[in-house]
Chain A
Amino acid sequence: MPEHTFRVNGEQVTVTVEDDVRLLWVLRDILGITGPKYGCGINVCRACTSHLNGRAVSPCSIPVGDLEPTDEVTTIEGLAATVDEDLHPMQRAWLDHDVAQCGYCQPGQIMAAVALVRRVTEEGRSITDADLDGLRNICRCGTYPRIRDAIRDGAARM
């Protein structure tokens, strides 16, 4: 069985598993990192959203064999450490706006939000309604309005 080495939340990991197993299952079933959630397995619900080298991706749609030793995967568990804090500013905004209901979608929502703000900032502009409309993460509890408020607030703190 092939070995795969890459970085997760600041640490190098090596797993022995078939090339085509998707990263989501390597994280959850082999490494025990359960923050990224399963909601569809086909890159549509975005419950599994995590960062690959700082960009939002759906680990359910990335074969582990595609990862290089230098690739840095960040899950919700490692988000705060990217800013050397207990909580990332976006997580603080989430708490202040009391966004979570059941919470199942929320790790993915937060990871998507952080990536969106980074991208918009790189483009030298601020978040618009169209940007927020473009977020594809499903929240079946219907927390969308609070998510929008929290992202604007979190962006201001990032």
Chain B
Amino acid sequence: MTEPGGGGDVAGSIGRRRFLGYVLAAPTLVTAAELGVASAAGAQPAAAPRVADLLDLTDLMTVATLPTAGLIAVEVHADGTASFALPRAEVGQGITTSTAMLIAEELSLPLDRIRVTLADARPELVFNQLTGGSNTTHATYRPIRVAAAIARQRLLAAASAELGSPAGELTLSAGVVTDRAGRGVELGVLAVRAASDRSEPVTVELAARESFTVIGRPHNRVDALDAVTGRKKFAMDLAVPNALPTMVCRPPTINGTVNSVANLAEVAAMPGVTDVVVIGTGVAVRARTFGQCVDGVRALRVSWKAGTAAGKSDETVLRELAAAELPLGLLPPLTPTVEGRFTFHFRGNSALEPNCAIADVRADRAEIWSALKSPIVARQSIAARIGLPLNRVTVHVTEGGGSFGRKLFFDAALEAAEVSKKIGKPVKLMWHRADDTRQGRTHPMATSRVRMSYLGDAVLGYQQRHTSVSTDLGHGLGEIITAFAAQLPVGDIGFAETFFLLSQEQSYRFGVSSQLLSETDKGFNTGSTRNVYSPDVTTARELIVDQLAARMGSDPHDFRRRFLRADRAKAVLAKVAEVGQWGRAMPAGTAQGIAFHAEYKSVSAALVEIDCRPETVNRPIRDGVGGPRVTKVVFAVDVGLAVNPRGLEAQMMGGVMDGIALALTSSLHLRDGYFLEASWDNYFYTRQWNTPLDLRIIIMPDTSEDPGGAGELSVAASMAAVACAYGRATGTMPTTFPINHGTLSFEPKPTVPPVPASPTDGRDHAS
């Protein structure tokens, strides 16, 4: 995904390094800047007040106490700490850490004196409170620094008055301002003195890159201690009074609905159960413990209506896709070509924390707690669902246990609100893992066809037609893209197609190039899974690139190097080739693969070594899949400017694990309208026994003044490199992903009851 309109010129930029921000009326120092994406993209709707309008308001008290429209604010407190409410969801990407680092840089304050919290839904931010498309760091990099730099400027001015020394002779370090005579004032004292009684615009110069002492240095996560001590609170860990565990008995096929329940009263009388109620998606059971919810769900006897994928199986959907494929070209090419057709099966996008939310819906108000990446749209949808005015609904964004696309949606929050309203009690609603896997969002099944034409050693053309089960982008991202699309010369096409065009760049000099998307079948619950199209599109392209290189008698690395346009693209490729010793002699059945991918203003390359020898592929794994082992990955990335290299490295590592899973082991099998997979012993995400023993991530030197995106970046090149390595090790180009999809490696669990009973032999497995 490409961030919407996040071009270099951020709103508020005046001249090269001078930026416009604000000081707000408040009891201690509060400074602010405009979150620039929407205005840069021209996507801010007329209804949202612009800052200029706002600052004309005479009611300064209102400005001082209400969240200010379109602004994000840094607050300096009387205790010498600073705080910032980030209008984004932290789901593991480390953005609270990188945000604290930006503030630390401009304020010269140690990180432990900066608190970054997650903002509740703030409708006035419109599109800007959406965590998607790996754009957080890119979109917030300048505004946060501007706000913090203004705070610094005000603090120094206040210190200057206090100490009687010119501001230029003062130093701000570790939360104390000192003058040349060695006299100092604490930040906390200055926070009060520097406070403003009116809100006004201020301009400020940002610290020059050469002077950075925090940005660009590796930093551990600010929430690491909470994570390793179990103190980090996820939605289901919150103690909301009387919000009792709730689970939903779900249909045996995708999106089925309740016909009738034979034994509702009987289940309502089971131990611990307080309520049983029919809702739009099934039958909800509220109980003292989740264990008793599971028992209640298993005991329910429900007759169901067919769902939206009734009777469909993998083969049915493959036929639908074939029928929806666009031609690769109008005329048969006159020159030689290489081409291929690749199939990518459904994949689950479950995070480890299942869909969950707490809801307390009363007659006149509602409160929701959930890890939401699009809280504004969630709040609107919830208000509509429960029939309350928007201003009676409060949505709290909690820390999330992973997202990968899932938390752009708010399926559990909607359900929790519906149940709470129906029974008139607060609920702590969680999906069972089986629900999350079978009824949760999936990455859409797709085919990708690629044709490259060439003559001699020149590439004349590149055509790619990607055909996919429809991806649901209806969580707010769609609105942004639609708005942005109005400015693009793409004509009147839907936003999925626009989104596809925006996210796929042609990094190679491949002559006449075209890439098109067509979609079919809206019957599935889809979403992105650490990216929507790029991993599949890139894998198809890189495999055909390998084929063409072979046809031309060229080495895969040399060929890519020759055709890549940008120097920074060539540099990442050269880096992995050098560090990974591209071309080294390897035993039969093992091989290297190399691939390239650019997105989010970032470039990346992966070199992979894989072992496909039978003794490795068939190594015994209990309740899991071994298969080919990726033994080594070298990954190089250039994100323009790396704010926190250690966090960036972690993001790359996670994406590599996803790439391995997508190429080799992870998929859902659709049969008769439902997915066979029901838990982690069926759905084979990368496990320790699939993890490369040798992983090297190389962060390239900065090449830009601005950070590019990284959250999803590394999946595509990793998946493609694994596929290319597999092809070279086995001598056969893989065309179906994951490569083991044809073998069902587990016994499917029943669909009625919809969730498995918990085992009782846990003590016997103590280890």
Q: Which residues of A pack against B, CB within 8 Å?
A: 1, 17-18, 20-26, 28-30, 32, 34-45, 47, 52-53, 55-63, 66, 75-77, 80, 87, 91, 94-95, 98-107, 110, 115-116, 119, 129, 132-148
Contacts and interface: CB of A to CB of B under 8 A. Distances in A.
Contacts of A32: 239
Contacts of A38: 236, 290, 354, 430
B762 A61 contact: yes
Interface stretch (B137-145, B172-180, B193-201, B220-228): B220-228
Given A115-B767, A133-B688, A101 B654 contact: yes
A41 B401 contact: no
A131 B254 CA distance: 39
A144 B685 contact: no
B27 interface: no
A41 B220 contact: no
B245 interface: yes
Contacts of A103: 92, 223, 226-228, 232, 399, 401
B739 interface: no
B351 A140 contact: yes
A43 B759 contact: yes
B686 interface: yes
A98 B221 contact: yes
Interface stretch (B59-67, B576-584, B655-663): B655-663
B229 A76 contact: yes
Interface stretch (B121-129, B338-346, B689-697, B719-727): B689-697
B247 to A, nearest CB: 10
Contacts of B679: 40, 42, 44-45
Contact of A61 (B432, B653, B656, B759): B759
Interface string B318-362: 000000000000000000000000000000001111100000000
B432 A41 contact: yes
B685 A140 contact: yes
B562 to A, nearest CB: 33
A30 B289 contact: yes
B92 A77 contact: no
A42 B400 CA distance: 22
A22 B758 contact: yes
B510 interface: no
B759 A34 contact: no
A21 B272 CA distance: 10
15 contacts: A41-B755, A42-B679, A42-B759, A43-B759, A91-B229, A94-B224, A95-B228, A98-B646, A98-B650, A100-B228, A103-B92, A115-B767, A133-B689, A136-B688, A145-B691
Q: Among A17, A76, A106, which residue has the most Cβ atoms of chain B within 10 A?
A: A106
B21 to A, nearest CB: 32
Interface string B286-325: 0011111010000000000000000000000000000000
A44 B245 CA distance: 22
B760 A63 contact: yes
A137 B691 CA distance: 13
A107 B230 contact: yes
A57 B212 CA distance: 47
Sort A-B residue pairs by CB-CB distance and give the 6 closest, nearest first: A35-B230, A102-B92, A142-B657, A104-B401, A103-B227, A61-B762
B379 interface: no
B112 interface: no
A139 B691 CA distance: 11
A62 B226 CA distance: 27
B401 A143 contact: no
B16 interface: no
Interface in B634-678: 646, 650, 653-658
A131 to B, nearest CB: 10
B184 interface: no
B686 A29 contact: no
Nearest to B692: A145
B763 interface: yes
Contacts of A94: 224, 228
B478 interface: no
A9 B257 CA distance: 44
Interface in B612-651: 623-624, 646, 650
Given A39-B352, A42-B759, A55-B766, A132 B228 contact: no
Q: Among A34, A52, A142, A148, which residue has the most Cβ atoms of chain B within 10 A?
A: A142
Contact of B228 (A62, A91, A134): A91
